[in-house]
Structure 1
Amino acid sequence: MAVFDAIRWTTRGLISSTCRPTVIGLENVPKSGPFIVAPNHLSFLDSVIVQALMPRPVAFFAKAEYFTTKGVKGAVMKSFFEAVGSIPVERGEQAASVQALKTLLDILEAGKGIGIYPEGTRSRDGILYRGRTGVGWLALTTGAPVIPVGLIGTEKLQPADKNAVRPQHFTMKVGEPLYFDKTGPDHSLPARREVTDKIMDAIALLSGQERSASYNQSKSVD
């Protein structure tokens, strides 16, 4: 826990000093019990930002290659993602995605926080795409509150076609918790879709993005 806290605090300090972010609504994160953070996704750095700036730890999916990249950058990424409890998952592997959802379920049942991108993968054109229903499944199965998050400007930190990170101001808006009845795992796809759409509506209000009724066509984890 000491190592985890040190990495979070160090990363938070680095982000705050170099980017001067505007952060709104941290008081909406429950002080105890399970919670689901559901942000839009514009940058590779979004998970790092949310994990560092949230008042409580948040465990995210992380692409398996983040744990296997070589060199100094790879070592730094692996150390960070392992320290904050990120869960490696192979992109495009349905069985792996299902197991990852079950792992997130275990974390929620332990009374902790998890993060999941309803869009599945980052938007490279700035549009907010249709949400995939994994977040709805988690919300209905556990009854944990969903905290919508709108990230604005994080794509400028590391453009999709660049490797270098450039400190830039960005905004993180944390919305009020969304509560859904706990139904357990036995619920219908239409129910998951309805919950997911409500979550996406909340994210859109926070981020101000143009929306698409289609899924992001990049390979993604649902």
Structure 2
Amino acid sequence: MVYSLLKYLILGPWLRLIFWPKVEGREYVPATGPAILASNHLSFSDSIFMPLMVKRRVTFVAKQEYFTGRGLKGWLTKMFFVGTGTIPVDRSGGRAAQAAIDTGLRVLREGHIFGIYPEGTRSPDGRLYRGKTGVARLALESGAPVIPVVMLNSDVVQPPGKLLPKIKRVRIRFGPPMDFSRYRGMAGDRFIERAVTDEIMYELMELSGREYVDVYAQKVKSGQAKSGRSNPAEPSEPSQSSSAVAA
């Protein structure tokens, strides 16, 4: 109920009016059945714009703390994530990756769409970074097709460190479904999972036109933090748990 209200009556119409999104390839998203939307990650707003441009509900996962805050701010935060189709996962005990995978598999087995950022975090500089293999595990265990999708300019619409977005046209591009049925029964093979992940990242590179860097984005961010070049004003990751799924 909350999801439908936000998407179709509140957020959706206003975002379309203000940012007039240009969406290419939306027909590649299946009308029914399970699918994995694998996206690059440039901005906090990715988890807002992309799901709202898909006719079906797109489910992400996020850390449980976003759903347990107190006061008006805590309630508004919870309503936002509930309204955007986000499911909380327990990140305690170092099981965030497995919890995200388990949740994703449940969503897919129920015939729905699961969204994931294979890079595991937002890009620190707009380039595309090495993918984590959780997306491959989801694809191989569920048998669902992977729909590559790229945010083309969300880092311009809402640059890192900026709370409020600029009024610019949002551009999103979906690619043809990727079928990995040739690897049926090979989930858990780390070489196969790496190959599948790299194939997905290559497609994201082709769709986006962004430079690819064969290093984990989090490693780059950690290096920046140690050298004093981190941005403390950058908004929190809304989908950190769903994206940081298994190296």
Q: TM-score, normalised by structure 2?
A: 0.81
Deviations, residues 39-83 of structure 1 (Å, cap 9, x unaligned): 100011111112111111110122445435667665433212113
Q: Is the 8 A contact 1:123 1:129 kept in 2?
A: yes
Give the distance between the partners of 1:170 and 1:42, measured in 2 at CA. 12
Which has the higher mean CA deviation after the structures are superposed, 203-212 or 32-41? 203-212
Give the distance between the partners of 1:93 and 1:84, measured in 2 at CA. 26
Structure 1 residues 164 and 91: CA distance shift in structure 2, 3 A: farther
- Larger Cα Rg: Structure 1 or Structure 2? 2
Which residue matches 2:111?
Answer: 111
Amino acid at match of 1:196: T
Q: Is the 8 A contact 1:148 1:175 kept in 2?
A: yes
**Please, which runs of 5 or more residues in structure 1 have no aligned partner?**
none
Amino acid at match of 1:193: R
Alignment of 1:1-222 (within 5 A): 2-9=1-8, 10-68=10-68, 74-89=74-89, 94-181=94-181, 183-184=184-185, 186-216=187-217, 217=219, 218=221, 221-222=244-245
The alpha carbon displacement at 1:205 in A equals: 1.3
The alpha carbon displacement at 1:190 in A equals: 0.6
Structure 1 residues 49 and 73: CA distance shift in structure 2, 3 A: farther
Deviations, residues 167-203 of structure 1 (Å, cap 9, x unaligned): 3212100111001116357430011111111111111
Give the distance between the partners of 2:194 and 2:106, measured in 1 at CA. 22
The CA RMSD measured in Å over matched residues stands at 2.2
Structure 1 residues 126 and 74: CA distance shift in structure 2, 3 A: farther
Q: Is the 8 A contact 1:37 1:146 kept in 2?
A: yes
Amino acid at match of 1:208: G
Give the distance between the partners of 2:45 and 2:149, measured in 1 at CA. 15
Task: Flag as ranges the 4+ runs of structure 1 deviating above 3 A.
Answer: 63-77, 89-94, 184-187
**Please, which runs of 5 or more residues in structure 2 have no aligned partner?**
223-239
Q: Is the 8 A contact 2:60 2:87 kept in 1?
A: yes
Count of residues in Structure 1 that have an aligned counterpart in Structure 2: 221
The alpha carbon displacement at 1:6 in A equals: 1.9
Which residue matches 2:237?
Answer: none
Give the distance between the partners of 1:70 and 1:207, measured in 2 at CA. 39
Amino acid at match of 1:30: P
Give the distance between the partners of 1:49 and 1:118, measured in 2 at CA. 18
Q: Secondary structure at the match of 1:144?
A: coil
Q: Percent identity?
A: 41
